[in-house]
Amino acid sequence: MPFTQTQLVLRRYYALLYAAVFAMIALFWPHAEVASAGARMFLVAATAGYAALYVAPLWILSSALGRVLRSFPGWRVRVPYAVAFVGGSAVLLAIFADYRLYELYQFHFNAFVWNLLTTPGGIEALGATEATTRSLAMQVSVFPVLCAAALVLLYRHATHGWAPSPRSLVTAMMVLFSVLSVEEVVYAYSEHVGKEDYLQAAEAIPFHLHTGARKVFKRMGIEQAAVKELRLAGGTVDYPGHDLPAKEVAKRPNLIMLVGESFRWDLLSPEITPNLWKLSQQGTRYEQHYSGGNRTRMGLFSMFYGLYAPYWYSFERQRVAPALMNFLRDHDYQLAIHTSQSFDYPELRHTVFTGVPEANLQELQKGEPWRRDAQNIDDLIGKFDRRSADKPFYGFMFFESTHAPYTFPEETALRQDYLRQLDYMKLDLRDNIDAIHARYINAAHHVDAQIGRLLDHLRAQGELDNTVILFTGDHGEEFMEKGHWGHGHGNTFPEEQIRVPLVIRMPGQQPQVVTHRTSHLQISPTLLEYLGVTAPSRSYSSADTLDHTADNLVLGEYDFMGIFDGEHKISFPYTRSSFFRYSVFDAQDHPVAREEGRQVLADKQALLDEVVRESRRFVR
């Protein structure tokens, strides 16, 4: 085919690709929280401009390569077509992947997703089923097939139909890039003066640039009305996690901590979890207990350190262990630490269990999660039996069965109306959420059975009365009660995602039910006090012990923090990953009216300032 015809084919192809990209970005529109006509126009303009931004480089590159390779007849045709095919497929795949991510979890491809993809154990932590893998492969293959088909059809019909001239394409691109430039200026201005409607519209655009121009606007005399950005994650750790003063005791008790992945509070019941319910009758049941976040990282971090979410980043980079684990190691506890997930994702090997010898860490990552959980309990029991009797024992078990896709042996199913096959790529959450929830309940029932085996063994060995037993969840799980499935959605901390059970059986303590509000941040101070530590809990953590009411819950995920005072939840970003704004919700997790939100922020400014100060106390 003459080279001029190749150009003609590619012009038509890139025009079609632009239309396809525009349509795919438009799929995000229903998720955009925009109210004003101006913000809706801004969203359309951003879609038009960003579609051009994603397509134009491919057209420019293929045209340039065609000119460079003019002296090579074969290559001057093959290379531009290859760029068009590979580049077009990649752009469509990237936007599609981002759309699926945003549809399920309300965030775009970001540092968290990159961390998940590049950290060992990250992909496995998603719990993708074989059905999901097959569906994903089929859907991914659609875009290369469509791009190839479009090129073939345009090649065969090169002499027919619309023939865009170079001048018309250049003009169109200049107009679209002008639109993009104006959109970015409007975005930068909105960020500077706090026009949240426009900023929320921009949040729906995949791979948005988030252009800023504060210095320019400042030189122009435009006052910054938006709240200044806040970065709490970072700094050199200055944490008194070693050598805490403690009372001398003749014999310290064993300690076993059991944590269920995504295990929310209402799973604790005589029907679903009879063994845990029985344990709660023998120990202390905390009826209003909350995780320190709606992600595993922040849930376990708050539990072991008693610190707020922003500290995770510095502690992880600098490999700083929690005071609780340091105390156990300093007092010769024999460690048996198990997970059916991974110690690399989330990075527990670098935080909670940093410094623990690898011989004491067991991670099972192959096979169905319910089988891994059962095997881990077998192995934990074996290690307990082989322990040295003259030293106390510490056991930790992180159950994976209750993480999506919620696995269990079919013969133990408590709910028979469960979804038989969980395919993430074909899920219709509205129609299937009850059946998915049934899977979750069945998985929790299986976890309870494994805990029952462990408790029965301790009882049979006569060791239950010499062992502290703790059970909780790292965070909760939502089943569309507030419009989400799973956990960790943007700047919201719904009740279902953060409220978890807490049962602690301590030798020598009478059974009781605690009805005041408590937090994961109080667990470590409580355990250390029981084990004999005399240092004030606030000297090494940000919380009191569990016998105190947590008047203000401090919550966190990877980029946002939240504060809940019982009436309102206030959330805000702390990593500079998003434009800074306060979001205010009522106790039922509904966004409040703007004026009410402003009043709440004014009333709680002292509390907000205190949380920020506390988030910096152990770093410098």
Give 38-78 pLDDT, tens digit per residue: 999 999 999 999 999 999 999 999 989 988 988 888 888 89
Boundary (domain end) residue, out of 204, 219, 234: 219
Task: Tell me the HSE value of 48 on the side-chain side, using a 13 A CA sphere.
Answer: 18
Give me the pLDDT at residue 72, please.
86
**Per-residue pLDDT tens for 288-328?**
999 999 999 999 999 999 999 999 999 999 999 999 999 99
Is a pLDDT exceeding 70 seen at residue 87?
yes
Contacts 24+ apart (CB under 8 A), 103-110: 103/31, 104/424, 104/485, 104/486, 105/484, 105/486, 105/488, 105/489, 105/490, 106/31, 106/484, 106/489, 106/490, 107/489, 107/490, 108/206, 108/207, 108/208, 109/206, 109/207, 110/559, 110/577
Is a pLDDT exceeding 80 seen at residue 111?
no
Determine the average pLDDT of the residues in 207-232. Answer: 82
C-alpha to C-alpha distance for 122 and 78, rounded to whole angstroms: 38
Give me the pLDDT at residue 617, please.
96
For residues 370 and 455, membership in a common domain is answered with: yes
The pLDDT mean for the chain works out to 91
DSSP string for 74-113: THHHHHHHHHHHHHHHHHHHHHHHHHHHHHHHS--S-HHH
Give me the pLDDT at residue 191, please.
83
Is a pLDDT exceeding 60 seen at residue 1?
no
CATH number at residue 407: 3.40.720.10
For residues 288 and 205, membership in a common domain is answered with: no
| Residue 277 · residue 471 · CB < 8 Å | no
Is a pLDDT exceeding 80 seen at residue 220?
yes
Residue 343: other Cβ atoms inside 10 A = 25
458-489 burial, b at 16+ Cβ within 10 Å, e below that, comes to beeeebbeebbbbbbbbbbbbbbebebbbbbb
Q: Is residue 243 one of the residues assigned to a domain?
A: no
What are the backbone dihedrals phi and psi of residue 398, each rounded to the nearest 5 degrees, phi first?
Answer: -110, 105
Determine the average pLDDT of the residues in 433-446. Answer: 97
**Strand-pair category, 560-564 with 568-573:** antiparallel
| Tokens linked to 522 | 């109080």
221 Rama class: left (phi>0) / alpha (psi -120 to 50) / beta = left
Residue % of the chain over a pLDDT of 70? 94
Most confident of 121-135, 238-252, 436-450, 569-583: 436-450
Residue 231's SS3 state is strand
Determine the average pLDDT of the residues in 144-150. Answer: 94
Is a pLDDT exceeding 50 seen at residue 455?
yes
Kindly calculate the radius of gyration of the chain based on its CA atoms and give it in whole angstroms: 28
Is a pLDDT exceeding 90 seen at residue 155?
no
Region of poorest pLDDT, from 10-14, 71-75, 130-134, 333-337: 130-134
For residues 303 and 211, membership in a common domain is answered with: no
For residues 368 and 449, membership in a common domain is answered with: yes
| Residue 294 · residue 435 · CB < 8 Å | no
Determine the average pLDDT of the residues in 358-384. Answer: 97
Q: Is residue 249 one of the residues assigned to a domain?
A: no
**Per-residue pLDDT tens for 512-554?**
999 999 999 999 999 999 999 999 999 999 999 999 999 999 9
| Residue 476 · residue 264 · CB < 8 Å | yes
For residues 270 and 213, membership in a common domain is answered with: no
Give me the pLDDT at residue 121, please.
62
How far is Cα of residue 43 from the mean position of the Cα atoms in its chain? 26
Give me the pLDDT at residue 125, please.
59
Residue 191's SS3 state is helix
C-alpha to C-alpha distance for 94 and 117, rounded to whole angstroms: 14
For residues 206 and 285, membership in a common domain is answered with: no
Boundary (domain end) residue, out of 194, 219, 244: 219
Residue 545: other Cβ atoms inside 10 A = 18
**Per-residue pLDDT tens for 174-206?**
999 999 999 999 999 988 887 878 888 998 999
Residues making up the chain, counted from first to last: 620
Per the model's pLDDT, the better-predicted residue between 318 and 3 turns out to be: 318
pLDDT level of residue 132 (50, 70, 90 thresholds): low
Is a pLDDT exceeding 50 seen at residue 37?
yes
Q: What Å distances lie between residue 253 and 331, 382, 527, CA to CA?
A: 11, 19, 11
For residues 154 and 293, membership in a common domain is answered with: no
pLDDT level of residue 138 (50, 70, 90 thresholds): confident
For residues 214 and 291, membership in a common domain is answered with: no
How far is Cα of residue 75 from the mean position of the Cα atoms in its chain? 46
Q: What Å distances lie between residue 510 and 172, 280, 501, 526, 548, CA to CA?
A: 77, 11, 19, 16, 18
**Strand-pair category, 502-505 with 284-290:** antiparallel
Q: What Å distances lie between residue 374 and 267, 381, 493, CA to CA?
A: 19, 11, 31
Is a pLDDT exceeding 60 seen at residue 3?
no
Boundary (domain end) residue, out of 165, 195, 219: 219
Give me the pLDDT at residue 608, please.
95
Q: Is residue 225 one of the residues assigned to a domain?
A: no
Establish whether the linkage from the previous residue to 144 is cis, with ω within 30° of 0. Answer: no
**Among residues 200, 194, 209, 178, which one has the least CA distance to residue 28?**
200
| Tokens linked to 144 | 């290369």
For residues 431 and 485, membership in a common domain is answered with: yes
Residue % of the chain over a pLDDT of 90? 72
Q: By CB neighbour count within 10 A (0-12 exposed, 13-18 middle, 19+ buried), where does 198 fall?
A: buried
Q: Is residue 485 one of the residues assigned to a domain?
A: yes
Q: What Å distances lie between residue 338 and 342, 361, 393, 468, CA to CA?
A: 9, 6, 14, 17
Is a pLDDT exceeding 90 seen at residue 214?
no
Q: What Å distances lie between residue 533 and 304, 351, 352, 530, 537, CA to CA?
A: 15, 21, 19, 7, 9
DSSP string for 421-476: ---GGG--HHHHHHHHHHHHHHHHHHHHHHHHHHHHHHHHTT-GGGEEEEEEESS-
| Tokens linked to 568 | 């309102």
Q: Is residue 406 one of the residues assigned to a domain?
A: yes
Q: How many domains does the chain have?
A: 2
For residues 174 and 271, membership in a common domain is answered with: no
Alpha helices in 348-421 (DSSP H): 369-385
Establish whether the linkage from the previous residue to 346 is cis, with ω within 30° of 0. Answer: yes
For residues 291 and 352, membership in a common domain is answered with: yes
Q: Is residue 226 one of the residues assigned to a domain?
A: no
Q: Is residue 96 one of the residues assigned to a domain?
A: yes
C-alpha to C-alpha distance for 348 and 338, rounded to whole angstroms: 11
For residues 204 and 265, membership in a common domain is answered with: no
Q: Is residue 28 one of the residues assigned to a domain?
A: yes
pLDDT level of residue 2 (50, 70, 90 thresholds): very low
User: What is the extent of the structural domain holding 16?
Assistant: 3-219
